[in-house]
């Protein structure tokens, strides 16, 4: 597989404090599924912020889609970010908008004509099992329902990479399994997945996934060599 992401000796420092990330180097293959693990404070969220271009590194090289993302002009950032879907740990849904309008938001921001929005949004609602909650606003949705709206919003634009920060941290075990099934289905369609989690049990549920482990800002398994058995359709 071709590499879609490359980090070389990346460091990240906030202000004048010690480095949050140090000498992080790894590559991500297009179409693969990765779990990013580590204890609280290991630097998982900081690494994800670098990956979806919310933060620039203090040093090192980051290449996305074959281009240098560190020196990328600001005018090109929106186009790059549209190629990366993000599922935030705290959902970040717009509370006064319905589930439908939250999911439609990225398409409207991208300038998609209104007649071309309805069908994909309804398909996304059906995909995450929320067709009956189309008019519901986030405050009336359960945590699992809000997370599914957030996932649908993140993938409505068909991103090449989907980044998820502890996506199962606020839901019960049954819903966590369902969310992972959604991620697995998306990955099988060709999207590269990077899911940050501390739950090793959930990691074992996605066969064939690769795992990277952060420890105090350093990547202990930069090659992604920690693998679970292959999926049945890969044997």
Given this model, what pLDDT does residue 234 score?
45
Q: For strand 218-219 and strand 210-215, is the pairing parallel, antiparallel, or unpaired?
A: antiparallel
Top-ranked range on mean pLDDT: pick from 72-86, 128-142, 166-180 = 128-142
Residue 66 exposed, middle or buried by CB count within 10 Å (0-12, 13-18, 19+): exposed
| Pairwise CA distance, residues 150 & 171, whole Å | 13
C-beta atoms surrounding 112 within 10 Å: 15
Given this model, what pLDDT does residue 24 score?
95
103 neighbors 125 (Cβ within 8 angstroms): yes
Q: Is the pLDDT of residue 57 over 70?
A: yes
Given this model, what pLDDT does residue 235 score?
41
- Bigger pLDDT: 172 vs 98: 98
Average pLDDT over the chain, rounded to an integer: 88
Q: Which domains does the chain have, with CATH numbers?
A: 3-220 (3.40.50.300)
Q: For the segment 78-101, what is each residue's pLDDT rounded down to a tens digit?
A: 888 889 999 988 889 999 999 999
**Cβ-Cβ contacts under 8 Å for 147 (sequence gap 6 or more):** 87, 91, 167, 168, 170, 171, 175, 179
DSSP 25-42: EEEEETT-EEEEE--TTS
Q: What is the 3-state secondary structure (H, E, C) of 151-212?
A: HHHHHCCCCCEEEEECCCCCCCHHHHHHHHHHHHHHHHCCCEEEEECCCHHHHCCCCCCEEE
As a whole number of Å, the CA-based R_g of the chain is 18
Q: Is the pLDDT of residue 229 over 70?
A: no
Contacts 24+ apart (CB under 8 A), 90-98: 91/138, 91/146, 91/147, 91/149, 91/150, 92/150, 93/138, 93/146, 93/149, 93/150, 93/153, 94/138, 95/137, 95/138, 95/139, 96/137, 97/137, 97/138, 98/134, 98/135, 98/136, 98/137
Given this model, what pLDDT does residue 78 score?
87
**Sign of the dihedral through C-alpha 153, 141, 115, 182:** positive
- The model carries a pTM of 0.86
152 neighbors 103 (Cβ within 8 angstroms): yes
């Amino acid at each position: 597989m071709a590499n879609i992401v490359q980090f070389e000796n990346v460091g990240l420092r906030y202000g004048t404090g010690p480095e949050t990330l140090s000498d992080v180097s790894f590559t991500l293959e297009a179409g693969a599924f990765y779990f990013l693990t580590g204890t609280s404070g290991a630097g998982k969220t900081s690494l994800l912020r670098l990956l979806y271009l919310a933060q620039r590194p203090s040093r090192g090289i980051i290449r996305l889609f074959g281009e240098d993302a560190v020196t990328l002009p600001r005018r090109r950032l929106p186009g790059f970010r549209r190629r990366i879907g993000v599922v935030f740990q705290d959902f970040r849904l717009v509370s006064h908008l319905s589930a439908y309008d939250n999911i439609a938001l990225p398409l409207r921001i991208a300038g998609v004509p209104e007649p071309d929005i309805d069908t994909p949004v309804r398909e996304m609602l059906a995909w995450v099992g929320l067709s009956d909650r189309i008019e519901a606003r986030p405050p009336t949705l359960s945590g699992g329902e809000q997370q599914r709206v957030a996932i649908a919003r993140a993938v409505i634009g068909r991103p090449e990479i989907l980044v998820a920060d502890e996506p199962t941290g606020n839901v019960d075990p049954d819903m966590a399994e369902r969310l992972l099934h959604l991620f697995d289905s998306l990955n099988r369609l060709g999207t590269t997945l990077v899911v940050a989690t501390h739950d090793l049990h959930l990691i074992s549920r996605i066969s064939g996934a690769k795992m990277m482990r952060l420890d105090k800002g350093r990547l202990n398994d930069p090659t992604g060599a920690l693998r679970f058995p292959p999926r049945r359709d890969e044997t």
